[in-house]
Amino acid sequence: MRRRTRALALVLGAAVAAPLAACAGSGDGTPVLTWYINPDDGGQATIAQECTESAEGKYAIETSVLPRDASAQREQLARRLAAKDSSIDIMSLDPPFIPEMAEPGFLAPVPDDVAERVTQNVVAGALAGATWDDELVTVPFWANTQLLWYRKSVAQAAGLDPAAAAVTWDQIMTAAKDQDKYLAVQGTKAESLTVWINALIASAGGTIIENPEAPADEVELGLESPAGEAAATIIGTIGKENLGGPGLPTEDEGASLSIFQGDKGSFMVNWPFVWSATKAGVEDGTFDQALLDDIGWALYPQVTEDQETAPPYGGINLGIGAYSKYVDLAYEAAECIVTPEHQAQYFATNGNPPSNTEAFDDPAVVEAFPMADVIRESLELAVPRPQTPYYNEVSTGLQQTWHPPSAVTPEVTPTKSSDLITAVLRGEQLL
Amino acid sequence: MTTVADKRPDLRDAAAKAGRSDRARSEARLGWLLAGPAFVVMLAVTLYPILQAFYDSLFHFRLTAPDDKGWAGLSNYAVVLSDPLFWQALGVTVFITVVTVVVELLLGFALALVMHRAITQLRGLLRTAILVPYGIITVVSAFAWFYAFDINSGYINHWFSWVPGISTDLNWFAQQGTSLFVIIMSEIWKTTPFISLLLLAGLSQVPTELEEAAEVDGATWWQRLTRVVLPNMKAAIMVAVLFRALDAFRIFDNVFIMTNGANGTEVLSLLAYRTSIGRLEIGLGSAISVLLFLCVIGICWVAVKLFKVDLAGGARGAS
Amino acid sequence: MKQLSGRAKVAWALITIFVLAYALFPIVSIFATSFKLPSQLNLGLFWPKTWSTVNYEEILAPDGSAQTLFLSSLRNSIGICLIATGIAVVLATLAAYAIARLDFPGKRLVLLTALGVSIFPVISIVTPLFNLWRNIGLYDTWLGLIIPYLSLTLPISIWTLAAFFRQIPWELEQAAQVDGATTWQAFRKAIVPLAAPGVFTTALIAFFIAWNDFVYGISLTSTDRARPVPAALAFFTGASQFEEPTGSISAAAIIVTIPVVILVLLFQRQIVSGLTQGAVKG
């Protein structure tokens, strides 16, 4: 049905193509590429405009905003791609959801020459996130990572100097407890909880999925392991001992930031946006400069003293829709979007770090983010969330079983989540 | 419309005459000509999709893995019905339905009495006020209540910190009980006007002579209410309850906005949505949809058979 | 009207205050939130500490972060709901006329179908519609929402209009015809003025119902092309992906609530009678 309509449209299109060449364009014949962006502070729209200008009529990029929640973004795009929507040219994709899009062929293959150009100087985590089945399937754009943010006063009182020597979760938990402060972590039932769980398990040397590329019913989970138990111990303790405060079960990244900025703020794991957001708060008079001066940063906390940390990896890659009418132009546009200059500008204005190491040397970046070096280091250490076409099931399954944090125990939770996810992947249970 | 008026037979002409059957036939034809389009549209937008849902529910079908589509028989239903999550969602849905309907019935009746008895100068004001929640978008209502109670942006905790159990540290959306409380509050606020309008319609049907007679006989206010007013409104009350119950059973917006199903606040509609639209598991999601539909049919059947609700008669008020 | 005693006056005053508080409190609450500075949201106060219109700028000013999202959704909502209401009212007028004035087999069936459709669990039809729409290209289009919105607006329109039409003294039409008017004139002069308020009220109620929809809105759309307001509200964002959009959502909520309040203020009498009509006189 669909195919026939298309064929008909094609014939009709050919018949009227000459006089009406502009029918798909903006009126002057320029092909319009639609870029589905995740919400930001306007940075992607600016880049779109700049690339449109520099394309000089070859193409024009229009942006269309996706929902705020990462899994809702995936939902929207997957639905449209399943509908073979030809209006999706460029997509800002959260890396964990890339395999699910790549597997059924929703992403147009990356041409070899493009692949070569866009992978130069790209941090390891971003490259891994852009790849599925050993093939580059998306163009790395920006790469995010969480740091440990701390109030210098609190760290000092606890005798810690996270900037000088790596700290462990136990240390910051003890510090918060002793000083009756709250740790700012993301305990809400959302993707950010999975981010936390994954970072903890990876920092303890484990992985959530042992064989991410296996078909659904053969996936083996690594949750029932010392690493899974270590992660459950940390989350459970923070929950049970009220170290996260009463808001923990509904605490997302933004709520974490308010707690950290408040009187009970101590340590926080969060993305770099917290720096620009706090600076903006100081500028509009809500906070004192003293707050900003009291904030320090370091690498994500370690689970054990002797094992290097594995910070969360996030960010956005650009996928090109397989059903786009202008795949070649879209790749051209994507290359324009991800130039180191644009990445640096995007970081400086929107607080989202580049995937290209070159961009970190940009003076504007260093000016806006004094912690740019730590971010770059963190990105090299960062471990992506499991890459599997069933990521949504895995992540939701974790959220169902590891929430609320106070109910998490090392004895029960890893087994429970492992059983649930396995059953769901086999189609034996609902989620 | 001209032709309508032309062909319109005189209904009051009860005496059967020659050509009556002709006329009846043409009247029937005209009736279906006029009502047909609406009838067809209604069937097309509901009957067809539910049949499709039933068909889809018989397959293993995941949108992002279109090649793995396969016959499932009734196994999707087996998965759903054997899953505690489904039963929990059903339980929560029933709980919300029962609580909201009971509270709304009482509150709605009070508001209906107020509107019914209000002195003329106040009538317009009161009616306008009561209609406002009716017109508000449910999502807006959900956000309003959510932000008021939210531990970060809310003020309820500060206002009511003198109440035992409430403090600035109370996170309403962290436990099942408190989350459901706020969800139910929002639901009640938004939909009580509807039920109270249905009851108002019922109230104005109560013959005033009866009430006056009772008053003359020395009946107290309470006696008049329970012996005269309520028995005369029984039909209206039953219809109001049934309609609200079926509406409450579909609850989705408030839960989606406030908790998205966290802390055991999952309801059936949300479960169906998350399965079919979120996970793109069309087969499983359709099975939940069909089961939800059967639940609604079940409630209707119980109401009509057991409680003898005269749907067709009373529903005129409902609509 | 009897003179009110002092006690009754006090009682009515109290009742009025209670009802007003009940009905308006959540709206005032979100109104107050909409004027709070993003950085002052978490102070635990009801009224803003400093009144600011920054949230309204976010959704209305050309460089506001949610401006495209909000304004396009507003346009979609208004357009889609008006069209869905219009179609529903036209179809329902024809059907209700037949039900009120003609005797035909299956009349009860039409009414019962309307009833069945109005209690239908929306979520049950969303999945198959989603699947069908994406196959025939209606997904994320206006038409793709207008059609399912008919399932919301049509049944209530039929019931309300049928109740209205039952009350119209149709003899007037004949009387006019006897007085020498043509059929069309009779209909237009005698019947239309009587039926118009009912049709208008029905349209208003149907519009409210379509305007309120959320499930179809989030399930059958995915972009600015067709996403209606309630769905867009759930997708708002703050200054960055991770910041709470509380302020912009509240501001948008107030803007979409204002027309509702105005309509209710202007037409409260009609809406009340429209919603209660059938039961009283039917």
DSSP state letters, C110-165: HHHHHHHHHTS-HHHHHHHHHHHHHHHT-TTSHHHHHHHHHHHHHHHHHHHHHHHH
Sign of CA dihedral B112, B114, B119, B122: negative
The b-or-e profile of A360-392 (16+ CB within 10 A means b, else e) is bebeebeebbebbebbbbbbebbbbbbbbbbbb
CA-based end-to-end distance of chain B: 25
* Intra-chain end-to-end CA distance of chain C, in Å: 29
Structure tokens at B307: 């409680």
Torsion of CA A280, A285, A286, A287, to 10 degrees: 80
DSSP B104-124: HHHHHHHHHHHHHH--HHHHH
Average pLDDT, chain A: 87
Q: Which helix (H) or strand (E) holds A136?
A: strand A135-136
The alpha helices in B233-281, defined as continuous H runs, are 234-249, 253-258, 268-273
Q: What is the pLDDT of residue C188?
A: 77
- Asked if residue A162 has pLDDT above 70, the reply is yes
Out of A250, A255, A431, closest to residue B174 by CB: A250
Hey, are the CB atoms on C224 and A64 less than 8 Å from each other? yes
For residues A412-428, give the mean pLDDT.
92
> A404 preceded by cis ω (within 30°)?
yes
* Interchain contact, C240 vs A85, CB within 8 Å: no
* pLDDT tens-digit map of A293-307: 999 999 999 999 999
Q: Under an 8 A CB cutoff, do A430 and B271 touch?
A: yes
Mean pLDDT score, A338-348: 90
Instruction: Kindly state whether C196 is in contact with chain B, defined as any CB-CB distance less than 8 angstroms.
Output: no
Rounded distance, CA B170 to CA B149, Å? Answer: 9
Question: pLDDT per residue over A360-376, tens digit each?
Answer: 888 888 888 899 999 99
**Is residue C139 predicted with pLDDT exceeding 90?**
no
Mean per-residue pLDDT, B272-294: 90
Q: CA-CA distance, A305 to C210, in Å (whole number)?
A: 59
What's the alpha-carbon Rg for chain A, to the nearest Å?
23
Neighbours of A, requiring at least 3 CB pairs below 8 Å, are B, C
Find out whether A277 and A184 touch, Cβ atoms under 8 Å.
Answer: no
Nearest chain B residue to A431 by CA distance is B275
- DSSP E strand boundaries for A167-225: 182-184
Kindly report, residue by residue over C118-134, the tens digit of the pLDDT: 888 888 888 888 888 87
Q: What tens digit of pLDDT does each residue of B51-101 get?
A: 999 999 999 988 877 777 889 889 999 999 999 999 999 999 999 999 999
B282, pLDDT greater than 70:
yes
Q: Which residue of C has its CA nearest to B239?
A: C279
Q: Do A5 and C137 touch (CB under 8 A)?
A: yes
Chain C closest-CA separation from residue B60 CA (Å) = 14
Q: What percent of chain A has pLDDT over 90?
A: 53
Residue A25 pairs in a beta bridge with A31
Q: What local confidence, expressed as pLDDT, does residue B314 receive? A: 44
Under the phi-then-psi rule, with left for phi > 0, alpha for psi from -120 to 50, and beta for the rest, what region is B35? Answer: alpha
Quick check: C279 pLDDT over 70?
A: no
Number of residues in chain A: 431
Q: Which of C38, A39, A183 is nearest to B153 (CA)?
A: C38
Interface contact flag, C222 A79, Cβ < 8 Å: yes
Tokens of C256: 């979409």
Q: Which of B130, B155, B243 sits opposite C19 (nearest CB)?
A: B130
For B217-232, what is each residue's pLDDT tens digit? 888 888 888 888 888 8
Q: Which residue of C has its CA nearest to A42?
A: C65
- What is the per-residue pLDDT for C239? 62
pLDDT attached to residue B226: 84
Helix, strand or coil, per DSSP, at residue A267: strand
Q: What is the DSSP letter of A185?
A: -
Q: Is pLDDT of A416 > 90?
A: yes
Task: Give the confidence band of C7 by pLDDT, cuts at 50, 70, 90.
Answer: confident
- Report the candidate in C259, C249, C254, C248 with the shortest Cα–Cα distance to residue C211: C259
Across the range B171-178, mean pLDDT stands at 91
d(CA A371, CA A353): 11
- Cβ within 8 Å of residue C143, ≥6 positions away: none
| Amino acid C156: pLDDT | 86
Q: Which residue's structure tokens are 């979120």? A: B278
The model's confidence at residue A181, banded by pLDDT at 50, 70 and 90, is very high
Which phi-psi region, left, alpha or beta, contains residue B289 (left: φ > 0; alpha: ψ -120 to 50)?
alpha
Tokens linked to B72: 């499932």
Confidence of residue A422 (pLDDT cuts 50, 70, 90): very high
Strands A313-320 and A147-151: unpaired
- Residue B98: which of B299, B288, B315 has the closest Cα? B299
In this prediction, residue B3 carries a pLDDT of 39
Q: Chain A: residue nearest C58 by CA?
A: A41
pLDDT of residue C277: 65
Q: How far is CA B39 from CA B124, B300, C88, C100, C282, in A?
A: 37, 21, 11, 15, 21
Provide the pLDDT for residue B7.
42
Q: Are C252 and C60 in contact (CB under 8 A)?
A: no
Q: Distance of CA C214 to CAs B16, B86, C211, Å?
A: 52, 23, 9
Tell whether the model's pLDDT for residue A18 goes beyond 70: no
3-state secondary structure of A266: strand
Dig out the tokens for C153 from the structure: 């607006």
- The single-letter DSSP state of residue B155 is -
Helix ranges restricted to H, A210-339: 226-240, 253-261, 273-283, 289-293, 327-337
Vertex A137 angle, CA A382 and A143, to 5°:
30
- Residues from chain A that touch C243, judged by Cβ atoms under 8 A, are 253-254, 257, 273, 277
The ipTM (two decimal places) reads 0.90
Cα–Cα distance measured from residue C222 to residue A65, given in angstroms and rounded to the nearest whole number: 10
Contacts of the segment B225-233: beta carbons below 8 A, 24+ positions apart: B229/B203, B232/B205, B232/B206, B232/B207, B233/B199, B233/B202, B233/B203, B233/B205, B233/B206
Whole-angstrom distance, CA of residue B25 vs CA of residue C112: 22
Q: Please state, in angstroms and rounded to a whole number, the distance separating the CA atoms of residues B172 and C5.
A: 44
Q: Please give the pLDDT value at position A408.
A: 94
Distance between CA atoms of B156 and B159, rounded to whole angstroms?
A: 5
**C147 contact residues in B (CB cutoff 8 A):** 45
Partners of chain C (3+ Cβ pairs below 8 A) = A, B
pLDDT band (50, 70, 90) for residue A225: very high
A269-273, C1-5, C140-144, C172-176: the lowest-pLDDT one: C1-5
Which chain A residues have any C-beta within 8 angstroms of a chain C C-beta?
Answer: 1-2, 5, 36, 38-42, 64-68, 72, 76-77, 79-80, 82-85, 252-255, 257-258, 262, 270-271, 273, 276-277, 280-281, 284, 286-287, 350-351
Answer for the pair C174, C183: CB distance below 8 angstroms, yes or no: no
Average pLDDT of the residues in C191-210: 87
Percent of chain B past pLDDT 70, that is, above it, reads 90
Per-residue model confidence (pLDDT) at position B255: 95
Contact A71, A125 (CB under 8 A): no
Q: What is the pLDDT of residue C2?
A: 53
pLDDT tens digits for range C215-263: 999 888 877 888 999 998 887 766 666 777 888 899 999 999 998 889 8
> Could you tell me if B28 lies within 8 Å of chain C, comparing CB atoms?
yes
pLDDT at position B311 is 59
Q: What torsion, rounded to 10 degrees, do the Cα atoms A388, A394, A399, A402 define? A: -110
Euclidean distance between CA atoms C76 and B29, whole angstroms = 38
- Mean pLDDT in chain C? 84
Rounded to 5°, angle at Cα B293 from B292 and B295: 65
Which 266-285 residues of chain B touch chain C by CB within 8 A?
268-269, 272-273, 276-277, 282, 285
The predicted pLDDT at position B99 comes to 96
**Interacting residues of A422 by C-beta distance below 8 A, sequence separation 6+:** A219, A221
Whole-prediction pTM: 0.87
Q: Which two tokens stand for residue B228?
A: 């005269």
pLDDT for C35-89, tens place per residue? 998 777 888 889 998 898 888 988 888 877 778 788 999 999 999 999 999 999 9
CA distance B172 to B178: 5
pLDDT value of position B78 = 93
As a whole number, mean pLDDT of residues C152-163 equals 87
Q: Check residue A209 and report its DSSP letter.
A: B
C136–A1: do the CB atoms touch at under 8 Å? yes
**Nearest in space to B247 (alpha carbons), one of B172, B305, B193:** B193
Which of B2, B111, B136 to substitute to test the interface with C, most C CBs within 10 Å? Answer: B136
Residues of B in contact with A249 (CB under 8 A): 171, 173-174, 262-263
Contact A383, A310 (CB under 8 A): yes
> Does A94 lie at the interface with B, CB-CB under 8 angstroms?
no
- Confidence grade of residue A24 (pLDDT, cut at 50, 70, 90): very low
pLDDT at B317 over 50: no
Half-sphere exposure of B216 (CA within 13 A, CB side): 6
